[in-house]
Amino acid sequence: MSHTPLIAVVGGGYAGFAAAVTLARGGARVSLFEASRTLGGRARVMEKDGYRVDNGQHILLGAYSETLRMLRLVGVKPSVLETRRLALVYPGLCELRAAPLPAPFHLALGLLRARGLDWADKRAMIRLMGTLRKQAFRIDPDRTVSTLLAETQQTGRLTRLIWEPLCVAALNTPAADASAQIFANVLRDSLAAGASASDLLIPRVDLSELFPVPASRWLALRGNTVRTAEPVKKISAMGDGYVLEGDPWNALYDDVVIATAPYHVGDLVAGLPGLAPVVERLKRLSHQPIVTAWLAFDGPLHLPEPMIGMSGGYGQWAFDRGALGGPEGLVGVVISARGAHQDISREALEIALLEELQSVLGPLPPLRWSQVITEKRATFSCIPGVDRPTTATPERGIWLAGDYVEADYPATLESAVRSGIAAARSILRRHGLKEGNFLSL
Ligand SMILES: Cc1cc2nc3c(=O)[nH]c(=O)nc-3n(C[C@H](O)[C@H](O)[C@H](O)COP(=O)(O)OP(=O)(O)OC[C@H]3O[C@@H](n4cnc5c(N)ncnc54)[C@H](O)[C@@H]3O)c2cc1C
């Protein structure tokens, strides 16, 4: 009988679970270790004062093909995602909505009908997309998004209301520092792709329940193990395999997928000298924060869309959780990347955000509860030429998975999932297995 490879996955975020499910589908046996009690990593639920909120409001795009495939594989119903045609709505300022037509007419008509943008803005948008298309979305790797916008003569309004907010939302890096090439990749696979690729998919369930929890159930049903509150301290080589300090079974693993954030890799592999150059590269990644302010009001709010843009203050986007399966009156305001909001206190920020919401929506019901969550290292800074490692490492049986691994995309759920799948497929190949070998219970 051929040997069933035993694989350890360290980290129970989206990358770790995508790797574990892919490995199990190929016939490997998987043990996943998660340090925290809650699954999901940087996309997880938190509980406070009876409220269940995410560590940060997330959106997915129709272009997240591998994440959507993974959700289907582990039996997640499509209705857990609120699917909306792309709508960038700044109440009273500007509205750009994709039309219900095949691409590229969905955007062309949307742009034609856009409110709050004049002809100079519309021509500039067509110019930028046309330039990118002509260059097959290839850009000099040193260019920043701001340079690209200046070179294609984007108007001030378009820059302020469309491009800069899209750049910060997608790359979590201010346009002045962000990689134009990665921004172009995102535009290529969303705005410039099939009409549904630019759809906004907003979870109606919490982020742990969206994928990690159903994936964990799926794995357990197939004889694999998922352990929470089980941090791995160190990975050491032993014979042809690896042992993990912190593993209650002291098992010998054929391969290990390290699916932690990049800043946790160094300690894990301190005993594997071959990985020192990889750790040095990871140390050079810089990071950007994301703030989510959860504001629960004593009554409903009337947002014109479940997600609206905010401009001119600290807040960037507001989400009406009441319209997304959450409690009535719960709103999440998101501030991505570094910025002026970091120079004021949490209390001052909360007051400013309440004033900004009021100026957009009119008088607000009384505030009942609030929680401002700052993820200091939400993602790596997506700057030109950022040096991202590959999933394979100089150690034959050690693989990296995570949103920071080399990819076309910035740090997103989709890049995390894709990296997990890529690591798993390489491992299956190494053991002469293929995904889909082992589909039944
Ligand atoms: C506030 C916020 C908002 C975001 N918004 C969006 C968005 O709208 N759309 C989008 O696509 N992306 C968004 N992102 C990015 C997205 O959340 C990440 O790209 C993705 O979750 C990264 O997944 P990962 O599996 O690579 O890493 P992680 O989620 O960091 O998972 C790593 C896991 O490893 C565990 N771990 C670490 N060390 C150990 C150890 N020694 N032993 C065992 N376990 C360990 C950690 O506890 C963690 O659970 C956002 C991120 C944040 C923080």
DSSP structure string for 204-224: SS-HHHHTHHHHHHHHHHTT-
One domain for residues 400 and 272: yes
Q: 34: CA distance to ligand 1 center in Å?
A: 12
Q: Is 49 inside a domain boundary?
A: no
Whether the link from the prior residue into 394 is cis, omega within 30° of 0, is no
What is the atom index within ligand 1 of the atom nearest the CA of 11?
34
Q: Residue 116 — left, alpha, or beta (φ > 0 → left; ψ -120 to 50 → alpha)?
A: left
Residue 162 DSSP code: I
Asked if 52 and 206 touch (Cβ cutoff 8 Å), the reply is yes
One domain for residues 232 and 301: no
Sheet architecture: strand order including 6-10: 225-227, 29-33, 6-10, 255-258, 398-400
Instruction: Give per-residue pLDDT as tens, 100-143.
Output: 888 888 888 888 899 999 999 999 999 999 999 999 999 999 99
One domain for residues 93 and 179: yes
One domain for residues 148 and 166: yes
Residue 404, CA distances (Å) to 4, 219, 286, 414 in order: 30, 25, 11, 11
One domain for residues 336 and 211: no
**Spacing of C-alpha 399 from chain mean position:** 20
Q: 302: CA distance to ligand 1 center in Å?
A: 31
One domain for residues 411 and 368: no
Beta strand spans in 279-366 (E): 287-297, 307-309, 317-320, 330-336
Instruction: Give per-residue pLDDT as tens, 351-382.
Output: 999 999 999 999 999 999 999 999 999 999 99
Determine the pLDDT at residue 1: 45
Q: Is 69 inside a domain boundary?
A: no
Q: Is 120 inside a domain boundary?
A: yes
CB of 10 within 6 A of ligand 1: the answer is yes
What is the atom index within ligand 1 of the atom nearest the CA of 411?
19
Q: Is 215 inside a domain boundary?
A: yes
- Output the domain CATH number for residue 360: 3.90.660.10
Q: How many domains does the chain have?
A: 3
Q: Which residues does residue 32 pair with via DSSP β-bridges, in sequence order? A: 9, 226
Determine the pLDDT at residue 439: 52
One domain for residues 291 and 279: no
Q: 14: CA distance to ligand 1 center in Å?
A: 7
One domain for residues 311 and 364: yes
CB of 190 within 6 A of ligand 1: the answer is no
**Alpha carbon nearest to ligand 1 atom 33, residue:** 11
| Token pair 């997928």 in the structure block, residue | 257
Q: Is 217 inside a domain boundary?
A: yes
Q: Is 124 inside a domain boundary?
A: yes
- Token readout for 81 is 């995602």
Q: Which residues does residue 317 pair with via DSSP β-bridges, in sequence order? A: 309, 334
One domain for residues 108 and 144: yes
Q: Is 73 inside a domain boundary?
A: no
CB of 218 within 6 A of ligand 1: the answer is no
Q: How many CB atoms lie within 10 A of CB 37?
A: 8
- Output the domain CATH number for residue 39: 3.50.50.60
CB of 159 within 6 A of ligand 1: the answer is no
One domain for residues 178 and 107: yes
Residues of the chain with pLDDT under 50: 1, 440-441
Q: How many CB atoms lie within 10 A of CB 376?
A: 10
Count of alpha carbons within 13 angstroms of residue 41, beta-carbon side: 28
What 3-state DSSP class applies to 174? coil
One domain for residues 264 and 389: yes
Asked if 380 and 287 touch (Cβ cutoff 8 Å), the reply is yes
Determine the pLDDT at residue 437: 64
Give the contacts of 440 (CB within 8 A, at least 6 positions apart). Answer: none
Domain end call among 197, 230, 248: 197
Q: Is 76 inside a domain boundary?
A: no
Determine the pLDDT at residue 150: 98
Residue 320: which domain range?
Answer: 287-380
Judge residue 93's burial from the number of C-beta atoms within 10 Å of its C-beta, 0-12 exposed, 13-18 middle, 19 or more buried.
middle
Cα gap 169→319, rounded to integer Å: 14
CB of 246 within 6 A of ligand 1: the answer is no
One domain for residues 247 and 391: yes
